[in-house]
A and B are shown apart, each in its own frame.
Chain A
Amino acid sequence: MRATRKKRLYLVLLMVVGIGVAVGFALNAFNQNLMFFYSPSEVAAGKAPAAHAFRLGGLVTEGSVQRQANGLTVRFDVTDNAKTVTVEYTGILPDLFREGQGIVAHGQLRSDGVFVADEVLAKHDENYMPPEVAKALEEAHEEGKASMPPGKTTP
């Protein structure tokens, strides 16, 4: 390789590395702003903004969905398996909304600690399988739970 070409190669490499480092620092500085939502644990720790709206993400707790008398208002718990936040939402829920499903809600914390959402989005996971496989997996999971010795609750 001739000297000029070597020089140009090093210049290009230097450029890539330099920009990479600069962008890395910038993204690190903006890390919190790049998070799409706060988890219930972060809300419980007081990291979420109290004065203005933010997004809350987590799993809908099994058995927690309650429809209010007017038919459109729904109350449910959102959990990250450590902390739980109760969410109240009036409106149409997305098709994928169900218990155990991941959701992202946009809204504000009320003084009593209930998160009043004005938008609920469903977050689906990266697993794709036909219904019969999902059913078989669930049955295997249930059996695994039943056959576990008493005292141990988590598989």
Chain B
Amino acid sequence: MKRFFHQLGSPKHFYRIAGRWIPWLGLACVLFLLAGLYQGLVVAPTDYQQGDSYRIMFVHVPAAWMSLFIYVVMAAAGAIGLIWHMKLAEVVAIASAPIGASFTFLALVTGSIWGKPMWGAWWVWDARLTSELILLFLYLGVIALHNAVEDKRTAARATSILAIVGVVNIPIIHYSVEWWNTLHQGPTVTKFDAPSIDMRMLIPLLLMAVAFKLFYATVLLMRARVEVLERERNTRWVRELVSQS
């Protein structure tokens, strides 16, 4: 087990192992996505107040969860890279940023589409919406900073610090609906009581959440492989790999 993790830390073995995992993770993602969409769009009943419009929740809520989850992964990987100078952690941190930014954007757009018919407004400047928008800007800042610095190791150090600074926003987003009064409703699933959602609606929501997690894992490994190749392009194993193909 220890040897396995040790191997995973070396770029060469990571490249090989990740390549083997990607098809299986991708397949699992597609299966969960199909099951979640079928359960969410066909099996789940309509809502007592919102009718069928609430079904956008099956994309909006998992996307919003992922936007927070990926940021925490990115900041943690950045911190590991800073403290232990582990190359692979730096790779994971920077490979996560565009995926997280996409999920944040998806959460904001689907929320806006949901907000117009339900609330009567595309956008309001309440604490939840504003803090989520700041999260998008943090992701974009991390990507821009990484691209602005030529040397990969220096770039990784700078972006890790920015990512760690931004992590303070994560609890603010999560608790914004409880600390302040907002137009956005309070938490349904991630609270300490029993979730205030019908079981037939909760199942597709959780299926979609798993599907999104698997999507992240798949795309993360794909992006990390490319980043590893680019960083190690002058080593012998990459040259051998290229000459073989």
- Smallest CB gap from B169: residue in A: A23
- Smallest CB gap from B161: residue in A: A15
Q: Are B118 and A36 in contact (CB under 8 A)?
A: no
For the complex formed, measure the closest distance between the CB of B153 and the CB atoms of chain A, giving whole angstroms: 15
- A124 contacts across to B, CB distance below 8 A: 49-50, 118-119, 185
CB proximity to B under 8 Å, residues A51-75: 57
Q: Are A94 and B188 in contact (CB under 8 A)?
A: no
- B57 contacts across to A, CB distance below 8 A: 128
Q: Give the contact stretch, choosing among B4-12, B27-35, B79-87.
A: B79-87
Evaluate whether A95 and B118 lie within 8 angstroms (CB atoms) in the complex, with A8-B83, A129-B48, A129-B198 already known: yes
Q: Are A36 and B45 in contact (CB under 8 A)?
A: no
Q: Give the contact stretch, choosing among B102-110, B176-184, B232-240.
A: B176-184
Say yes or no for B54: interface residue by CB 8 A criterion.
Answer: yes
- Smallest CB gap from A138: residue in B: B48
Q: Are B198 and A94 in contact (CB under 8 A)?
A: no
Say yes or no for A29: interface residue by CB 8 A criterion.
Answer: no
Number of interface residues of B (CB under 8 A): 41
Evaluate whether A129 and B197 lie within 8 angstroms (CB atoms) in the complex, with A36-B127, A94-B120 already known: yes
Evaluate whether A23 and B168 lie within 8 angstroms (CB atoms) in the complex, with A34-B180, A126-B188 already known: yes
Q: Are A128 and B47 in contact (CB under 8 A)?
A: yes
For the complex formed, measure the closest distance between the CB of B208 and the CB atoms of chain A, giving whole angstroms: 14
Say yes or no for A148: interface residue by CB 8 A criterion.
Answer: no
Q: Are B83 and A121 in contact (CB under 8 A)?
A: no
Say yes or no for A85: interface residue by CB 8 A criterion.
Answer: no
Q: Are A36 and B79 in contact (CB under 8 A)?
A: no
Chain A: interface size category: 35 or more
Q: Are A16 and B49 in contact (CB under 8 A)?
A: no
Say yes or no for B244: interface residue by CB 8 A criterion.
Answer: no
A127 to B48, CA, bound (A): 9
CB proximity to B under 8 Å, residues A28-65: 31, 34-37, 39, 57
- A34 contacts across to B, CB distance below 8 A: 127, 179-180
Q: Are A120 and B120 in contact (CB under 8 A)?
A: yes
Evaluate whether A130 and B183 lie within 8 angstroms (CB atoms) in the complex, with A5-B83, A34-B127, A96-B118 already known: no
For the complex formed, measure the closest distance between the CB of A19 and the CB atoms of chain B, giving whole angstroms: 5
Q: Are A36 and B182 in contact (CB under 8 A)?
A: yes
A16 to B188, CA, bound (A): 29
- B201 contacts across to A, CB distance below 8 A: 128-129
CB proximity to A under 8 Å, residues B82-106: 82-84
Q: Would you list the 5 A-B pairs with minimal beta carbon distance, nearest first? A: A94-B120, A130-B45, A134-B48, A36-B126, A126-B188
Please give the residue numbers on chain B whose beta carbons come within 8 Å of chain A beta carbons, in ascending order: 45-50, 54, 57, 79, 82-84, 117-121, 124-127, 161, 164-165, 167-168, 172, 179-183, 185-188, 196-198, 200-201
Please give the residue numbers on chain A whose beta carbons come within 8 Å of chain B beta carbons, in ascending order: 5, 8-9, 12, 15-16, 19-20, 23, 27, 31, 34-37, 39, 57, 93-96, 101, 104, 119-135
30 contacts between A and B (CB under 8 A): A12-B164, A16-B167, A20-B168, A34-B127, A36-B126, A36-B127, A36-B180, A36-B181, A37-B183, A39-B181, A57-B181, A93-B120, A94-B117, A101-B49, A120-B120, A121-B119, A121-B121, A121-B183, A124-B49, A124-B50, A124-B185, A125-B186, A126-B196, A127-B197, A128-B196, A129-B197, A130-B200, A131-B46, A131-B48, A132-B45
